[in-house]
Structure 1
Amino acid sequence: MKKNYLVISLFLGAMLLSSCASKKDLVNLQNENKSLNSNYQDSKEQLAASRSRVTSLEEQLAQEKRNNQVLKSSYDALQGSLDKSLQSNNQTSVNISKLVDEINASNAFIKRLVEAKSKSDSLNLALSNKLTRSLNTDELKEVDVQVLKGVVYISLADNMLYKSGSYEINDRAAETLSKIAKIIKDYKDYDVLVEGNTDNVPISRTNIRNNWDLSALRASSVVQCLQNQYGVEPRRLSAAGRGEYNPVTTNDTEVGKQRNRRTQIIITPKLDQFMDLIDKAPEGNK
């Protein structure tokens, strides 16, 4: 009897152990299945990403092929243009020796022009310096001497030159004009233009219609003074009136009006030498 109980107990124990082992295996299998599923999902995502990348690369490759075709077409066009140009050059065959001669002639012409311009600039500077040194301190307050763009400008205030509201030259200006005339006479190759300028205040004299008249009459008075009193050649002299239309500053203040009321003696090199040079210029420089 006891033997039977023992057998039954052993059997039941074996069954229990077998059941525990099967459950453990099941859990292991489930875990393994989860791991496999996870790996499978990862693999699917990686595969999808790889396919997308392949698609993108295929599109890039197709675009590069198209770009390459465009470049090839451009190259073919350029090559064709180059071939035509070379063919044209071969047909016309430029005379290099003649071209060099033309370049040398042009360079020589430019050199002569530069030398003439440098000489003119040097003379202008010397003339300007002589004028400035000849004037005393009081005169320099009312006389401005400048060299601008190859021309010597002598600007004289109207209250120094003329009687008030008039175009008659006063005695005060005589000494200054005599100094200017002496230097003008020394530079015989220079022409002299005298320009009269006014402010914008209308003139109210019966014998002078407007500022045009006043500025022209003042310029003419200076020209005739240079000719008649100081012996400047009349062929070198010109007179011009610019009225109120060439101001150097605003007419809104008394100081501005005073600066605009001026007479300019403009001393310019004669253009004959430059015109002669231009007449002698190589054909390509005319």
Structure 2
Amino acid sequence: MRKVLLLSVSAMILLSSCVSKKQFTDLEAKQKETQDLLNSATVKLNSCIEERASATARATALEEQVIDLRKSNDNLTILSSKGASNIEKTLESIKEKELKITRLQDALTQKDSITLALVTSLKREVGINDPDIEVNVEKGVVYISIADKLLFQSGSYNVNSKAKDVLAKVAKVINSKPDFEAMVEGHTDTVPYRKEPLLDNWDLSVKRATSVIRVLQDLGVNPKQLIAAGRAEYVPLVENNTAENRATNRRTRIVVLPKIDQFYDMIEKEMKNLAAGGN
């Protein structure tokens, strides 16, 4: 474009000496028109260059955004996958815990069912209508409480003949539950006791317990199921402040309970089944 302009100027100079004034004016006008066109083209070119640079910058920014979005999408996909996996693992863990709870509840329900059946048998066999004999359940354990006046003479640890009829009924129920144990507890009042060879209420309570156990053994109860215990005067039902209350506290209690080791063996077995994935 500049070469054309220089040629035009040169031509005008060369021709000025040999062209008319009118021709010179026309050439000058054309030169001006050409210059205006050149200026306009230059402005447009600069504008296009600026627009191209701006467009290039926008395109670069957009490309960077696309790359970032792709990375974010990839990360989101990874996070979503991990999240779904974690949710599945959590649900599986919850199901396993629910299954464990259900199995343990089943084991406890089984124990409670056996206890209920045992209470029913005892009440039927022993005769719950007797006010001196009580059968009840506390914390899943069956208790048979027999007043001392049914078992012993005052100050004696020899079981009387009348009591053997009651103990025979208890023995029948214990024999029907070979997986249970029977702990015989002797309880006294607070009146001091000392009669050779016994030294105190501890000795008397234990001696009465072993006397009952011997009768139960004679009635066919497996001695491996029997436990002798003495509590002396230290677990009273009421205050030892009257003769009637002291009579209430003098009692023999037979505790019929499932063998603890077997019960926990059952629980442990269920836990091992769960760990192994068994049904």
* Fold match by TM threshold 0.5: yes
Aligned to 2:44: none
Residue 205 of structure 2 corresponds to residue 218 of structure 1: no
Distance (Å, rounded) in 1 between the aligned partners of 2:85 and 2:244: 66
Post-superposition Cα deviations, 1:159-210, rounded to whole Å, max 9, x if no partner, equal: 1111221111110101100011001111122111111100000013121100
Q: Distance in 2 between matches of 1:92 and 1:245?
A: 61
What does 1:3-152 align with in structure 2 at a 5 Å threshold?
95-136=86-127, 140-152=130-142
Matched residue of 1:256: which SS? helix
For residues 181 and 135 of structure 2, the distance between their equivalents in structure 1, rounded to whole angstroms, comes to 16
Matched to 1:99, the amino acid is: T
The residue type paired with residue 194 of structure 2 is S
In structure 2, C-alpha distance between the alignment counterparts of 1:281 and 1:116, rounded to whole Å:
11
Query: Residue 245 of structure 1 corresponds to which residue in structure 2?
Result: 234
Q: Is the 8 A contact 2:146 2:251 kept in 1?
A: yes
User: Is 1:233 matched with 2:222?
Assistant: yes
* TM-score, with structure 2 as normaliser: 0.64
Letter in 2 for 1:246: V
Cα distance change, pair 91–107 in 1 and its aligned pair in 2 (3 A)? closer
Which of structure 1's runs of 4+ aligned residues deviate more than 6 A?
Answer: 90-94
TM-score, with length taken from structure 1 = 0.62
Shift in Å, 1:94: 7.5
Distance of 1:137 and 1:126 partners within structure 2:
15
Question: In the aligned structure 2, how far is the partner of 1:150 from the partner of 1:239?
Answer: 20
| Alignment partner, residue 158 of structure 1 | 148
Structure 2 match to 1:47: none
What RMSD in Å do the two structures reach over aligned CA positions? 2.8
Q: CA 1:136/1:206 → structure 2, altered by over 3 Å: closer, same or farther?
A: same
Question: Structure 2: how far apart are the matches of 1:218 and 1:141?
Answer: 21
CA distance in 1 between partners of 2:121 and 2:271 (Å): 34
Q: Distance in 1 between matches of 2:269 and 2:175?
A: 29
Report the residue type matching 1:125 in the other structure. L
C-alpha displacement of 1:254: 0.9
The answer as to 2:267 corresponding to 1:264 is: no
Instruction: Name the CA shift for 1:167/1:278 in 2 (closer, same or farther; >3 Å).
Output: same
The alpha-carbon distance between structure 1 residues 91 and 128, as it changes in their structure 2 partners (threshold 3 A), is closer
- Which has the higher Rg, Structure 1 or Structure 2? 2
Closer/same/farther in 2, CA of residues 125 and 91 from structure 1, 3 Å limit = closer
Residues in 1 aligned to 2:232 and 2:268: alpha-carbon distance in whole angstroms: 35
| Total equivalences in the alignment | 196
- Cα distance in 2 for partners of 1:98, 1:273 equals 32
Question: Quick one: percent identity of the two aligned structures?
Answer: 40
**Residue 113 of structure 1 contacts residue 274 of structure 1 at CA under 8 Å; is this kept in 2?**
no
Cα distance in 1 between the residues matched to 2:144 and 2:93: 43
1:145 shift after superposition:
0.5
The letter for the 1-side match of 2:100 is: F
Aligned twin of 2:178:
188
1:154/1:100 CA distance change after superposition, 3 Å: same
